């Protein structure tokens, strides 16, 4: 083990800001648990990187990977296979009209890059609006629209990026003022607004009902396209197939990733035939090495199979009520919990102190629970809780019990240190 960490510390580039790698060697994973090399089981309350909605090593995904890798895994980008066309057709079938044109890619940043590039080409504009606590990825255009982290020290961002305040309860005047500021700064070249229906990396913040519809109208008034990034909320996690369904809004462009591949690299851009035609007429170009690859597309088809057959939207709604009830009880037990929020199996628990959040995270891991905490200016720290949709009620209860104990232990440790 000492050699492993010596090699890791010597040879790996650290890519998570100031955060360190978790000091556990993960050997395998199954269902809702990851297992360390020494056999310790850790309950995964983040679904890997907020992605493994069917849990780890789901047998049907394992079988699909083996089968597809043995027959057809990768092609020249201009060639097509049945898994790709099948997934495009089936994905369109889960969405409202006019969303029917699909581009299959690998990562969320890539899908957002492709969507922004399409919006710029179709509208003729270049200015992009996004939330002040947004996370859309680390590639150029996606990073330009990301405000929650990673902006400092890398030189100028792409010109024409504007931040919109994260909505609060009195959102109508806030939205009006936000666009007054955008209009004042714009050079008359607004192309798109890209937002998450629930800001995950921004602290699990859900815009109030009516906000997305009003935002869409602001976009229409200015000839902008509305891009919704459902990397973490799409495919049943919030209790419906897509988080935007609650608001009765249909985006001009939808981006999917994380949950679409259930932990494997698969992403999509979905738009209307009209927008796709306009982009094509203008010579839309987004070649990537793994665009329309058959192997991840085959996995995506299995993900849709399982979500539909097992009614995982309904399951996420039910387990979401169990999770929320338990989190509310934890909030009642500990004064250091400032808020509980979220929808379905994407929940946020906000603590009042940055240092406390770090201690709770460490204690959870010691007790066998993996948690992720978002720490942003003005927030004490928000746990993003997103267990697999396939988790059992007992596993949800176990995780809540560990979290409750970890908060209590961390509070005691902190008071002794004081």
Q: Are residues 204 and 253 in the same domain?
A: yes
Residues 182 and 303 in one domain: yes
Same domain? For 112 and 173 the reply is yes
Residues in the chain: 418
Mean pLDDT of 79-83: 98
> Residue 379 — pLDDT band, cuts 50, 70, 90?
low
Domain count, the chain: 2
Q: Does the annotation count 329 as an active-site position?
A: no
pLDDT-based confidence at 19, cuts 50/70/90? Answer: confident
Average pLDDT over residues 214-243: 98
What integer pLDDT is reported at residue 146 of this predicted model?
A: 95
| pLDDT exceeds cutoff 60 at 171 | yes
Q: In 3-state terms, what secondary structure has residue 373? A: strand
Residues 112, 234, single domain; the answer is yes
- The answer on 334 and 299 residing in a single domain is no
Residues 221 and 329 in one domain: no
Split at pLDDT 50, 70, 90, the class of 158 is confident
Q: How many CA atoms are closer than 13 Å to the CA of 166, on its beta-carbon side?
A: 19
Nearest CA-CA partner of 296 in 120, 93, 110, 94: 110
Tell me whether residue 196 is one of the annotated catalytic residues: yes
Whether residue 326 is contained in a domain is answered as: yes
Give me the pLDDT at residue 17, please.
87
Same domain for 236 and 218, yes or no, is: yes
Q: Is residue 92 part of a domain?
A: yes
For residue 194, pLDDT over 80 is answered with yes
Would residue 320 count as lying in a domain? Answer: yes
Domain interval for residue 229? 72-309
* Confidence band for 375, pLDDT divided at 50, 70 and 90: confident
d(CA 232, CA 345): 11
The reply to whether 34 and 179 lie within a common domain is: no
Q: What is the pLDDT of residue 323?
A: 98
Q: Is 135 a catalytic residue?
A: yes
Give me the mean pLDDT over the 169-192 stretch: 98
Question: Does the pLDDT of residue 377 top 80, yes or no?
Answer: no
Q: Which of 110, 232, 252, 363 is catalytic?
A: 232
Residues 305 and 166 in one domain: yes
pLDDT of residue 2: 86
Judgement on whether residues 52 and 132 belong to the same structural domain of the protein: no
Candidate list 258, 324, 359, 363, residue with the active-site label = 258
In-domain check, residue 223: yes
Catalytic choice (120, 135, 293, 359): 135
Out of 77-91, 225-239, 241-255, 379-393, pick the least confident: 379-393
Last-in-domain residue among 309, 335, 357: 309
Q: Catalytic site residue 229? A: yes
- Residue 62 inside a domain? The answer is no
Residues 321 and 213 in one domain: no
Residue 76 located in a structural domain: yes
CB-based contact 236:307 (threshold 8 Å) = yes
Of the candidates 309, 342, 368, which is a domain's last residue?
309
Arithmetic mean of pLDDT over the chain = 96
CA proximity to 53, closest of 269, 238, 323, 291: 238
What's 296's domain CATH number? 3.40.640.10
- Segment (H or E) for 324: helix 312-333
311 is catalytic: no
**Higher-scoring residue by pLDDT: 206, 414:** 206
Residue 63 forms part of a structural domain: no
Determine the pLDDT at residue 1: 81
Q: Looking at 117-126, 250-259, 367-376, 400-409, which range is the least confident one?
A: 367-376
Q: What average pLDDT score do residues 247-270 get?
A: 98
Which of 110, 229, 230, 276 is an active site residue?
Answer: 229
* Boundary residue ending a domain (279, 309, 339): 309
Q: What is the pTM of this model?
A: 0.96
Residue 134 falls within a domain, yes or no? Answer: yes
- Claim to verify: residue 291 and residue 191 sit in the same structural domain: yes
375 flagged as catalytic = no
Return the CATH number at 51.
3.90.1150.10
Indicate the pLDDT class of residue 333, thresholds 50, 70 and 90. Answer: very high
């Amino acid at each position: 083990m000492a050699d492993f960490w010596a090699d890791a510390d010597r040879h790996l580039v650290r890519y998570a800001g100031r955060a360190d790698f978790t000091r556990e060697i993960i050997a395998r994973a199954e269902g809702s648990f990851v297992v360390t090399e020494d056999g310790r089981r850790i309950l995964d309350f983040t679904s890997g990187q907020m992605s493994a909605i069917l849990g780890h090593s789901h047998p049907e995904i394992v079988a699909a990977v083996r089968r597809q890798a043995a027959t057809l895994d990768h092609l020249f980008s201009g060639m097509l296979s049945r898994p790709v066309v099948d997934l495009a057709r089936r994905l369109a079938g889960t969405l409202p009209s006019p969303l029917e044109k699909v581009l299959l890619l690998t990562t969320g940043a890539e899908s957002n890059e492709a969507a922004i590039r399409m919006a710029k080409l179709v509208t003729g504009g270049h200015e992009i609006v996004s939330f002040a606590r947004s996370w859309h990825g680390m590639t150029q255009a996606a990073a330009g629209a990301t405000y929650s982290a990673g902006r400092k020290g890398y030189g100028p961002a792409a010109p024409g990026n504007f931040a919109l305040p994260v909505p609060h309860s009195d959102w109508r005047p806030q939205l009006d003022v936000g666009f007054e500021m955008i209009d004042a700064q714009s050079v008359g070249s607004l192309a798109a607004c890209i937002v998450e229906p629930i800001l995950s990396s921004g602290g699990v913040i859900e815009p109030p009902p009516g906000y997305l519809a009003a935002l869409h109208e602001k976009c229409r008034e200015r000839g902008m396209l509305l891009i919704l990034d459902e990397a973490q909320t799409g495919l049943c996690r919030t209790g419906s197939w897509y988080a935007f369904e609650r608001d009765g809004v249909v985006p001009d462009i939808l981006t999917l990733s994380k949950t679409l591949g259930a932990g494997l690299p698969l992403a999509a851009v979905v738009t209307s035939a009209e927008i796709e035609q306009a982009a094509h007429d203008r010579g839309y170009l987004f070649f990537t090495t793994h665009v329309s690859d058959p192997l991840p597309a085959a996995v995506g088809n299995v993900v849709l199979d399982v979500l539909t057959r097992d009614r995982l939207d309904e399951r996420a709604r039910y387990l979401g009520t169990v999770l929320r009830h338990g989190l509310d009880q934890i909030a009642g037990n500990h004064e250091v919990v400032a808020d509980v929020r979220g929808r379905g199996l994407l929940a946020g628990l906000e603590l009042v102190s940055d240092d406390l959040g770090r201690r709770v995270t460490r204690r959870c891991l010691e007790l066998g629970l993996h948690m992720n905490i978002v720490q942003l200016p003005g927030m004490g720290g928000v746990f993003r809780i997103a267990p697999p949709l396939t988790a059992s009620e007992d596993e949800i209860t176990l995780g809540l019990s560990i979290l409750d104990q970890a908060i209590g232990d961390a509070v005691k440790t902190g008071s002794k240190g004081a």
